[in-house]
């Protein structure tokens, strides 16, 4: 994940809290697990030690990834969003021209995406296809099932 990660203030605070928890709680717990496993004898045949080291490695990778996301995060203020075109944090009502079904999505960062809540990532195929579109525009999105065509019906916050 490179480039800028656009997030809301709420998500930014959640990420900082998650990072703090990983560093302050999970990292010391992983170190304790390694120390306990080391005390149990020969490290060559100690599966518990190997598992603890692997868990620590995965935790450190998660910490590094989250630090990268936080470092490139840009907080988006909902009060400064232009609703004349689709952008991050806008809520877009679309009509699928193939099925004639109408759906509403909010365009959010990768970290906030949750399709069940109607939040799609700005980096998803549909999110990318909608960026910059205005009401009445038609967006063609390449999907595994073929090209999907959406008409932008409404843009709001």
pLDDT tens for each residue of 74-106: 888 777 788 889 988 899 999 999 899 999 999
Q: SS3 helix, strand, coil % of the chain, rounded to 5?
A: 45, 25, 30
- Domains (ranges, CATH) in the chain? 5-75 (1.10.287.180), 79-156 (3.10.50.30)
Q: What is the pLDDT of residue 40?
A: 80
- pLDDT single digits (tens) 3-59: 777 888 888 999 999 999 999 999 999 999 988 888 887 767 778 888 889 999 999
**Are the CB atoms for 148 and 140 separated by under 8 Å?**
yes
Paired tokens of 36: 């306990």
Alpha carbon distance 133, 136 (integer Å): 8
Alpha-carbon torsion (104, 123, 155, 15), positive or negative:
positive
pLDDT confidence band for 1 (50 / 70 / 90): very low
């Amino acid at each position: 994940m490179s480039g800028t990660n656009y997030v809301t203030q709420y998500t930014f605070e959640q990420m900082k809290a998650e990072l703090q928890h990983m560093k302050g709680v999970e990292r010391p717990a992983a170190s304790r697990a390694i120390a306990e496993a080391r005390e149990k004898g020969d490290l060559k045949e100690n599966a518990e030690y190997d598992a603890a080291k692997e868990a620590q490695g995965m935790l450190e990778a998660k910490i590094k990834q989250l630090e990268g996301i936080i470092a490139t995060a840009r907080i988006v203020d909902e009060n400064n969003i232009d609703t004349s075109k689709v952008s991050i944090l806008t809520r877009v009502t679309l009509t699928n021209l193939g099925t004639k079904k109408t759906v509403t999505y909010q365009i959010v960062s990768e970290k906030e995406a949750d399709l069940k809540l109607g939040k799609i990532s700005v980096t998803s195929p549909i999110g990318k296809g909608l960026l910059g579109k205005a009401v009445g525009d038609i967006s063609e999105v390449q999907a595994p099932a073929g090209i999907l065509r959406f008409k932008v019906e409404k843009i709001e916050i």
